[in-house]
Amino acid sequence: LIIAMIIFTLASLGIVFVHNIWLMVALRFLQGVTGGAAAVISRAIASDMYSGNELTKFMALLMLVNGIAPVVAQTIGGIILNYSVWRMVFVILTIFGFVMVIGSLLKVPESLTVTNRESSSGLKTMFKNFKILLKT
């Protein structure tokens, strides 16, 4: 989560200073991939930390935020563009990313135990699980 948010923040900062459309497209792609990764990883962290009714409540809250955030973000982006230049959107995204990195470092504990990390790592395990998936 931290790595994805750091890359998101750096990509946002890079867009502020970009003067090449192709570099901007590449940075936007990187921003989208890492922002999406953060959304997926947050669900995995929730699954590691909660179970039963607590997990259901947390996932419901997460889905609510994921549903409302794109609408609110579009509105805020439009307001920013009314009063400033397009680069300001990415300045604000950089600040948002920085705040999220700091918040994640301070408030989100490591949710995957050492034993689970070791047992689920590696390409061999990934291909083995993919083979099982294809058989089902």
Interatomic CA distance for residues 59 and 64, integer angstroms: 8
86-93 average pLDDT score? 95
Residue 53 or residue 127, greater confidence: 53
Q: How many domains does the chain have?
A: 1
pLDDT digits (tens, 9 = 90+) for 109-129: 776 666 655 555 566 777 788
pLDDT digits (tens, 9 = 90+) for 56-66: 998 899 889 88
The domain containing residue 39 runs over which residues?
2-135
- For 86, 120, 124, 130, the CA distances from 115, given in Å and listed in that order, are 47, 9, 17, 21
pLDDT digits (tens, 9 = 90+) for 8-27: 999 999 999 999 999 999 99
Give the DSSP per-residue string, 5-33: HHHHHHHHHHHHH---HHHHHHHHHHHHH
Distance of CA 54 to the CA centre of its chain: 22
